[in-house]
């Protein structure tokens, strides 16, 4: 009897262990309430900020942008609308998508997609209010092949800033000191294998990491890959067969990400969207955050989309 009991107990423990490793039916909750996509995460002072696309309309016809702040990555405060296209922009009224933010010259520069153009607005605070700087697009629709969307700006250690953007191709160019202009003759366009959209750049230990989303945001296979370089403008070499982020089980369409380093630490987090759980799709997506880790060689390790996020303080 005792032998039978021990065998049964061992079977239960083994089954529990296996299930705990393969349970893909219970994902952590999204960090923002409701449907938000394309999150750009950043740190300013002692707070984290997220700048997302407002989701929930077929065709992604949102007309405004919001900002969110947090002191611990877990609890987020809605800072309300920071840029309203019909009110604040003269050259576009809808399709407010995939923003990014950068700090330089004592100002906050907010780059955004609007009706498949890229614009830039400026503010004195990370929560705005933001004002259109140029009165026209920074990158106009049709300027290059593919869609003029998904801007991202990386500010290097020497203060130089670089703009990355584009769907279909990844376009790269150094910005002028004013952060709102560039020399178009020095623009570089590349298309890494699998590249679709949502490029993001960061630097770690002297290496530049360019990451992007593959497939379409309406495709459950939507995922993130990356490449590395010794220069912010490349050439970049793709990390083959090393996906950064991909869905599994109930997590579908995990992509369009951004990455942040905790101030003063080699501690990194990735913000991204997935299909809303339950019942989501490419027009109903929700924002999540997961730890991002590296191996000893500096390769990005695959993100565990089922890992529960713990509270983190900036300082």
Question: What is the pLDDT, as a whole number, of residue 229?
Answer: 98
Q: What is the pLDDT of residues 45-55, one digit of tens each?
A: 999 999 999 99
**From the centroid of its chain, how far is CA 168?**
17
Catalytic, out of 38, 55, 214, 286: 38
Q: What is the pLDDT of residues 171-200, one digit of tens each?
A: 999 999 999 999 999 999 999 999 999 999
Contacts of 138 (CB under 8 A, 6+ apart): 111, 118, 119, 120, 151, 180, 181
197 included as an active-site residue: yes
**pTM for this model (two decimals):** 0.92
13 pLDDT band (50/70/90 cuts)? very low
Contacts of 300 (CB under 8 A, 6+ apart): 209, 211, 226, 239, 242, 244, 292, 293, 294
Q: What is the pLDDT of residues 233-284, one digit of tens each?
A: 999 999 999 999 999 999 999 999 999 999 999 999 999 999 999 999 999 9
In this predicted structure, the answer to whether residue 292 has a pLDDT above a threshold of 70 is yes
Q: Identify the structural domains of the chain with CATH numbers, from first to last.
A: 34-292 (2.115.10.20)
Question: What is the pLDDT, as a whole number, of residue 7?
Answer: 43
Question: What is the pLDDT, as a whole number, of residue 6?
Answer: 42
240 included as an active-site residue: no
Q: Which of 233, 291, 298 is nearest to 260 (CA)?
A: 291
18-43: b or e for each residue (b if 16 or more CB lie within 10 Å)? eeeeeeeeebeebbbeebbbbbbbbb
> Which DSSP symbol is given to 151?
-
Q: What is the pLDDT of residues 53-75, one digit of tens each?
A: 999 999 999 999 999 999 999 99
In this predicted structure, the answer to whether residue 102 has a pLDDT above a threshold of 80 is yes
126 to 122, 203, 292: CA distances (angstroms):
9, 22, 24
Query: What phi, psi does 108 have (nearest 5°)?
Result: -105, 120
Q: Position of tokens 């730890």?
A: 291
In this predicted structure, the answer to whether residue 98 has a pLDDT above a threshold of 60 is yes
Catalytic, out of 55, 197, 214, 286: 197
């Amino acid at each position: 009897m005792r032998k039978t009991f021990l065998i049964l107990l061992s079977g239960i423990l083994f089954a529990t262990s296996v299930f705990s490793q393969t349970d893909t039916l219970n994902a952590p909750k999204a960090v923002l309430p409701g449907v938000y996509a394309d999150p750009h995460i950043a740190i300013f002072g002692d707070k984290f900020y997220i700048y997302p696309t407002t989701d929930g309309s077929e065709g992604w016809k949102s007309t405004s942008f919001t900002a969110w702040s947090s002191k611990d990555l877990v609890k987020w405060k809605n800072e309300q609308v920071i840029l309203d296209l019909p009110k604040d922009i003269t050259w576009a009224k809808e399709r407010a998508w995939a923003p990014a933010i950068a700090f330089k010259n004592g100002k906050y520069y907010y780059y955004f997609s609007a009706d498949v153009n890229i614009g830039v607005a400026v503010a004195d605070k990370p929560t705005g209010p933001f004002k259109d700087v140029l009165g026209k697009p920074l990158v106009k629709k049709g300027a290059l092949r593919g869609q003029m969307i998904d801007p991202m700006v990386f500010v290097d250690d020497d203060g130089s800033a670089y703009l990355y953007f584009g769907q279909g191709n990844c376009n790269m160019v150094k910005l002028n000191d004013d952060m709102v202009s560039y020399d178009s003759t020095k623009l570089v366009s590349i298309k890494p294998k699998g590249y679709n959209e949502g490029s993001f750049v960061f630097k770690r230990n002297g290496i530049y990491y360019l990451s992007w989303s593959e497939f379409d945001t309406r495709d459950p296979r939507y995922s993130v890959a990356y490449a590395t370089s010794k220069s912010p403008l490349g050439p970049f070499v793709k990390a083959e067969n090393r996906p950064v982020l991909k869905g599994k089980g109930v997590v579908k369409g995990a992509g369009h990400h951004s990455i942040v380093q905790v101030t003063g630490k080699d501690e990194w987090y990735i913000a991204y969207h997935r299909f809303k759980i339950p019942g989501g799709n490419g027009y109903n997506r929700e924002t999540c955050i997961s730890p991002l880790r590296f191996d000893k060689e500096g390769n990005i390790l695959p993100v565990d989309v089922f890992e529960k996020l713990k509270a983190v303080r900036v300082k």
